[in-house]
Chain A
C-alpha cells in the first residue's frame, strides 16, 4: 500500500505541482499496486504517509507553509521513514533558510543543509539536469540561488538553465529528492518517477509504456539534451 500525501496545495501549488502526486499514484496503480492520494490542507494534521510531495509557491504562502510544517509532525515522520519529493519553493523549505519579500533568512525545516539566497535575476525557462547519466527535463521559475552544505549531494549537473546555482540542481538525501524543475516534473520524466517509486516501494518495477515516454523524448529533442 502506497500513500502519497500532497502537502498544502493551496499554498504550494502555483505551477500544477500537484501533478507529481497524481503521477506517482497513477504509475503505481497501473502496475496493480494499491495506491492512494491524500491531500493535506493548511491547518490539517500531517498524516502518516509513505511519501510526501511538496510544490512551489509565492513568497507569503511559502513562509506560511514552512511555519505550519515546522510545528507539525512532518519532520518526525520523515525521520521515521517517510519519503519526500519537493520542487521549487518546496526544495527551499526543506533547507536551512530561504528568502521571502522583506526577509532574507526565513527559517526552513533544516532537514537538509541548503541555504537559499536571493539571486540577482529570476531564473525563468527550461531546465535540464543530468541525473545518473540521463537528462531530466523541466521548467524553472524562481528567484533563488541555493548553496548546499559540504555533505549534501546535488541531484545532478545542470545542462541548461540555472537550478541551484547554474552548476548543479536540487539535492538528494536519504529518502529525499528535490529539484528546481517545478510543476509536473514527474509527468515529463516518467523514468525518474519510476526510479523514485521503485526506491519508495523497495521493488524493481515492470516497465510501463505510455504517451509520457513520447513527451519525454519530444522535450529532450526540444531542449537539445
Chain B
C-alpha cells in the first residue's frame, strides 16, 4: 500500500508524470517551474522513465515540439510559468484547435515588468481564451492527483484537448508536503494507453492544420467550443472514477462551510488554505461566512457555480491578476457575467490582491471580508478594490 512521503511538490509532479509512463517531455527552465523538469530530466537520465526528453531552446519550441509529439500519438508533457507561458501563447491556440492531448503544469507566476518570479494569476488568466482545459489546484496532493487525471481527460477520445494544471509558484511548487503517490499498478489500471485516433502515420496519411477560408472557419471554431463545453462531462466522470480508485474526490467548485452562509469569499489556488483559517475564525465569532473555490476554470462550471451561490447575499471575489483598464479582476468580471442573468443574485464585491507573491494573511482575509461586507451595504464607486497597496 502506498504511503504518504514528504517531498517537494515539483518532485512529486515529476514522479506522477513518470508513473503515467510519459513518452515525450519537452521543456525549458523557468522559475518556479524548473524543479519539475529538472526532476524529469533526472528520471530519464537514470533510466527510470523511458521517454524522449527534448531540452528545447525556448518555450515557444517547447510547446511546438509538444504539438509534433502529440500528433504522432505519443503521451506528451511539459511545464512552464509566467514569461514562458506568455512566449508559448501563440502555440497554445494551435494545441487546442488541433485537438492535441498535451498535459502541462503551470507554476503560476507574475509577469514582467518589474521582473517577478513570485506567484499570481496573471499568466494563467492571459490564456483563459486559448481553448485549453484549465484546472486550479490548492496543494501538492491535488496537483499530483489532477496531473494524473489530466492525462486521462486529455486523451479521452471524447475530449482530445490539452490540459493545464495551475499551481501557485513557490506557495505550492516549492513546498515540501506529505504526498501519497499511487502504485504503478494503480496508475496502469486507472490510465489506459494513449489511443490518439488520427495520428501522423504513413499507413494512413492525414493533413493536419490546413488553411481555413471564411466558409469553414466559424464551423471549426464552433466545433471547438462545443467540444470544450462538453468535456466537462468527461472531467466529472474521470474525477468520479479517480475518487473510486483513490478515495480522494474532486469537484469543479469546492465549498467550505457554505451551509447557511450569507456571505461567501471566492478564491482560486493556494490562498484558499489561508482563507479557510480565516473562515474558521470568523465562524467561531458567529459570522455566517463561507469560502468557495473554483477548481475547474475552463470549461467554466456555470451550473455548479450558480448552484453554490444561489442563496447568499454577498459574494466577495479575490482576483490575483488585473485586467488593466477593464472591469476589475478577470475572475470577478466572469463571475458577474455568469450571475447577471440570475433572478436572485448576490451583491458582488471585487478585490484584487496577492500580486507578485504578496502574501495575504489570516488577518488580511478578515479585512477583505469585513470591508467587502461593508461595501456590499454601502456600494462603491470603484470597479474593484485593491487590497494592501501602500499609498
Q: Do A and B bind each other?
A: no
**Chain A interface residues (CB < 8 Å from chain B):** none
**Chain B interface residues (CB < 8 Å from chain A):** none
